[in-house]
């Protein structure tokens, strides 16, 4: 079986208008073949549950760069297989069951406050912004920006200081058990986790008792690199400026000729056309 893990902004969603219409043929092909589509993103659960609904997708999601894995309640029941202990450590958040791989958002913000007080680092996180500010920096609507601010366990931020001081901030984060990654627009501060680790966690749950699936990962940013490199099939999606990640998947690597959802569509259709289940 295939499992598709996909980044959103600049990958499945257009960099400028966040639309996914060019990817509709491949999305429908995944549904017909019952291939799980796992949105794997820096976005929040509040944002992604609406995107999943727009895509008519009922699969689990990986949010905040692997900081949390969220299962729709019905899917959580199926994966648990009638054994509640399987979901030990999950918490109920709206209509999802959520496993955090990162400290709570309040702890992330407390670290930033302590570093500012001690060292005077100049950065602006979502927690410092109004919804209008977030909308300005992201291109989201104000309503969408409100959802982007509903964070569980990570903080996007803009760095206004020197590169040398950024490295010291990164080292202090590591000493505190935190990690940093670079997305398309922002740095992200979170626990010591990643999209790649969450991808492996979720694949193991989905595969339980069925044999190992083939993982497909699609992305365009540095925070997708590890996920692509650890996937069986990696798709490096061309960015809106024509540049592209330089990395390789475990078994196969595709590089799209077109950016965003147009390139995403072509790559997924090619993978589905060529895929043959491995011999068991």
Active site residues: 7
Which residues have a Cβ under 8 Å from the Cβ of 265 and sit 6 or more positions away? 22, 23, 24, 25, 26
Which among 133, 113, 131, 132 is positioned nearest to 123, based on CA atoms?
113
Coil, helix or strand for 261?
A: helix
Phi–psi pair at 273, nearest 5 degrees: -65, -40
Which among 214, 272, 217, 219 is positioned nearest to 249, based on CA atoms?
217
Phi–psi pair at 34, nearest 5 degrees: 55, 45
Coil, helix or strand for 116?
A: helix
Which residues have a Cβ under 8 Å from the Cβ of 86 and sit 6 or more positions away? 79, 80
CA dist 67 → 63, 112, 148, 196, 261 (Å): 6, 17, 15, 11, 25
d(CA 30, CA 37): 8
CA dist 132 → 67, 109, 124, 144, 233 (Å): 25, 20, 14, 10, 39
């Amino acid at each position: 079986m295939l499992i598709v893990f996909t980044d959103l902004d600049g990958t499945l969603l257009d960099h400028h208008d966040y639309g996914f219409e060019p990817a509709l043929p491949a999305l429908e092909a995944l549904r017909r073949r019952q291939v799980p589509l796992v949105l794997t993103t820096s976005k929040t659960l509040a944002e992604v549950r609406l995107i999943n609904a727009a895509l008519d997708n009922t699969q689990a999601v990986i949010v905040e760069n692997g900081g949390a894995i969220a299962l729709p309640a019905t899917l959580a029941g199926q994966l648990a297989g009638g054994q509640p202990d399987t979901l030990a450590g999950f918490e109920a958040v709206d209509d999802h069951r959520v496993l955090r791989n990162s400290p709570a958002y309040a702890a992330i913000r407390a670290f930033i406050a302590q570093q500012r007080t001690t060292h005077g680092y100049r950065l602006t996180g979502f927690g410092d912004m109004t919804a209008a500010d977030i909308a300005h920096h992201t291109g989201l609507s104000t309503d969408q920006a409100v959802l982007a601010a509903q964070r569980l366990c990570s903080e996007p931020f803009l760095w206004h200081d020197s590169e040398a001081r950024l490295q010291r901030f990164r080292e202090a984060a590591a000493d505190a058990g935190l990690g940093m990654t670079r997305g398309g627009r922002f740095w992200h501060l979170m626990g010591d986790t990643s999209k790649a680790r969450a991808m492996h966690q979720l694949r193991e749950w989905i595969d339980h008792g069925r044999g190992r699936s083939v993982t497909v990962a699609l992305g365009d940013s540095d925070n997708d690199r590890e996920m692509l490199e650890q996937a069986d099939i990696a798709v490096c999606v061309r960015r809106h400026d024509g540049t592209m990640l330089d990395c390789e998947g475990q078994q196969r690597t595709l590089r799209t000729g077109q950016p965003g959802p147009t390139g995403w569509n072509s790559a997924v259709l090619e993978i589905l056309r060529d895929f043959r289940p491995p011999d068991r």
